[in-house]
């Protein structure tokens, strides 16, 4: 990649330029050129609010205020309406590491119990957009439950009201913010390398506390993914700068970058020299070294391409700890060395299958012994057998045999008087469809056909025998 003469966001502001980075465009290619939409982070919260944010990131400028029929807190008419129309300064674009700030409350609306929507004159809280979940933290002593942006209006959802016009202090949850920064920069590295080696686009992105998920537009084999993973980590070790800029339109038109849109200005470019250049709206770490480590954790075929999951930074360390703990526990349970737990589990499976086969064989033998106690067809019309338990297949085979020998019913009941029985019943002479109606009237639950029934029966063996002897 060649040199990239651009003006940074911060520098632009210093020079008095209006640097409106990013609102109109999507991050990381999440928005497809054919008009596809972002994947939403925090879907539950989204559904709860009943808002359709799919087009939020594509909206330009500061349009209408956020919806909702809540009442204005301390609202007094025109002055406040004018205040709330002012543009919110997005501090997170100027410095992703800023966690403390003060701001003036432009409006506060009660949306529902314990949920108040607040608009500020400036904010360091990154709203949900581009597939990345919103920041959390504290604002004016209230918890920030969510932050949304729609039509350019950034709305903070709090668990309590704030006085309109007051200056309040805000603190961004740094642990969460930095974790997201590490994951997001790691994602750019991987997406940049995939794009470079295979030409695929990143067509889906989801970043939440639980998962980082990215979709690519073509298939990638296992060995190729290992190579991408290693190369991505080499980019981390190289401690490359992560450069953010808003190129002027003339420069932008000649620039090659991922997630290129039709927009000609106000595009925020995040570049990792030699690795990736992409239009993106999110805070990033200053250098690739801060990503710590990049580990791909899962891959599946998805819509003609692949869906990857990955972890970076502290999240990767925690993932390693968890897997190490699992390995140690399995090792102890199997009494094998950690490096041999796969063979240990395989041997355990084989022993289990052998034990199940032996159990089946013994159960069938037992059923045969118990069947020998049933009086023969020369002296009984029905063959009825009650056992504690028996394999379903063996029960069915024996009932079929008996149905051809006895003039009446052949049935085996498995269970006990206290808990009831499950049963299989057959007959060559009795209409089982009609019998089913009789049995259901007695509390049986059963289904089947003309010569066959199965289901469950309540009550005692004596009562069931009495019902069937009448048939």
Q: Give contact residues for Zn ion (rule: CB under 5 A).
A: 27-28, 280
Phi, psi of 190 (to 5 degrees): -65, -45
Which of 128, 134, 127, 118 lies closest to 167 in space, CA to CA?
Answer: 118
Q: How far is the CB of 420 from Zn ion (least distance, A)?
A: 60
The number of residues making up the chain comes to 471
Query: Helix axis angle, 341-371 relative to 313-334, nearest 10°?
Result: 50
Q: How far is the CB of 152 from Zn ion (least distance, A)?
A: 19
Residue 28 or 310 having the CB closest to Zn ion? 28
User: Which residue is at the shortest CB distance from Zn ion?
Assistant: 280
259-264: which pairs have CB atoms within 8 A and are 24 or more residues apart? Answer: 259/25, 259/26, 259/27, 259/28, 259/29, 259/30, 259/31, 259/202, 261/25, 261/26, 261/31, 263/24, 263/25
Residue 203 or 280 having the CB closest to Zn ion? 280
Residue 93 or 413 having the CB closest to Zn ion? 93
Residue 180 or 386 having the CB closest to Zn ion? 180
Residue 28 or 306 having the CB closest to Zn ion? 28
Which of 131, 316, 313 lies closest to 214 in space, CA to CA?
Answer: 131
Q: How far is the CB of 130 from Zn ion (least distance, A)?
A: 6
Residue 144 or 278 having the CB closest to Zn ion? 278
Q: How far is the CB of 38 from Zn ion (least distance, A)?
A: 12
Q: How far is the CB of 181 from Zn ion (least distance, A)?
A: 11
Q: Provide the token pair at 154.
A: 């950034």
234: Cβ–Cβ under 8 A, 6 or more apart, which residues?
A: none
Decide if 61 contacts 18 (C-beta within 8 A).
no
Decide if 172 contacts 188 (C-beta within 8 A).
no
3-class DSSP state of 279: strand
Residue 131 or 137 having the CB closest to Zn ion? 131
Q: How far is the CB of 53 from Zn ion (least distance, A)?
A: 17
3-class DSSP state of 246: coil
Q: How far is the CB of 116 from Zn ion (least distance, A)?
A: 30
């Amino acid at each position: 990649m060649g040199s990239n003469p651009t003006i940074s966001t911060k520098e632009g502001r210093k020079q008095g330029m209006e640097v409106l980075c990013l609102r109109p465009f999507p991050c990381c290619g999440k928005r497809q050129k054919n008009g596809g939409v972002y994947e939403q982070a925090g879907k539950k919260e989204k559904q709860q609010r009943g808002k359709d944010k799919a087009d939020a990131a594509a909206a330009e400028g500061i349009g209408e205020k956020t919806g909702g029929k809540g009442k204005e807190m301390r609202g007094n008419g025109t002055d406040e309406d004018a205040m709330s129309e002012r543009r919110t300064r997005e501090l997170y674009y100027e410095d992703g590491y800023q966690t403390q700030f003060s701001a003036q409350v432009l409006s506060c609306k009660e949306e529902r119990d314990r949920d108040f929507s607040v608009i500020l004159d400036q904010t360091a809280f990154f709203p949900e957009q581009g597939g990345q979940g919103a920041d959390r933290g504290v604002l004016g002593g209230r918890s920030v439950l969510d932050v949304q942006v729609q039509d350019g209006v950034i709305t903070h959802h709090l668990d309590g009201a704030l006085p309109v016009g007051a200056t309040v202090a805000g603190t961004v949850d740094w642990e969460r913010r930095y974790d997201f920064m590490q994951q997001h920069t790691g994602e750019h590295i991987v997406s940049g390398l995939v794009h470079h080696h295979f030409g695929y686009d990143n067509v889906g992105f989801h970043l939440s506390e639980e998962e980082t998920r990215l979709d690519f537009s073509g298939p990638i084999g296992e060995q190729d993914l290992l190579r991408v993973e290693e190369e991505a980590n080499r980019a981390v070790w190289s401690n490359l700068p992560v450069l953010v800029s808003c190129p002027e339109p003339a420069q932008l038109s000649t620039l090659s970058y991922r997630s290129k849109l039709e927009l000609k200005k106000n595009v925020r470019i995040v570049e990792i020299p030699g690795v990736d250049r992409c239009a993106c709206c999110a805070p990033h770490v200053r250098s690739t070294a801060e990503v710590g480590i990049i580990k791909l954790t899962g891959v599946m075929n998805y819509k003609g391409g692949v869906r990857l999951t990955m972890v970076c930074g502290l999240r990767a360390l925690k993932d390693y700890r968890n897997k190490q703990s699992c390995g140690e526990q399995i090792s102890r349970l199997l009494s094998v060395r950690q490096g041999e737990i796969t063979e240990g589990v395989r041997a355990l499976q084989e022993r289990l299958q052998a034990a199940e086969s032996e159990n089946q064989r013994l159960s069938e033998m037992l059923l045969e012994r118990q069947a020998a106690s049933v009086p023969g067809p020369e002296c009984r019309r029905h063959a009825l057998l009650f056992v504690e338990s028996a394999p379903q297949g063996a029960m069915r085979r024996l009932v079929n045999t008996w149905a051809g020998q006895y003039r009446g019913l052949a049935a085996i009941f498995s269970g006990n008087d206290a808990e009831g029985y499950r049963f299989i019943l057959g007959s060559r002479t009795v209409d089982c469809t009609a019998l089913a109606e009789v049995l259901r009237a007695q509390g049986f639950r059963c289904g089947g056909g003309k010569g066959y029934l199965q289901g469950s029966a309540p009550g005692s063996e004596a009562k069931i025998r009495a019902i069937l002897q009448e048939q």
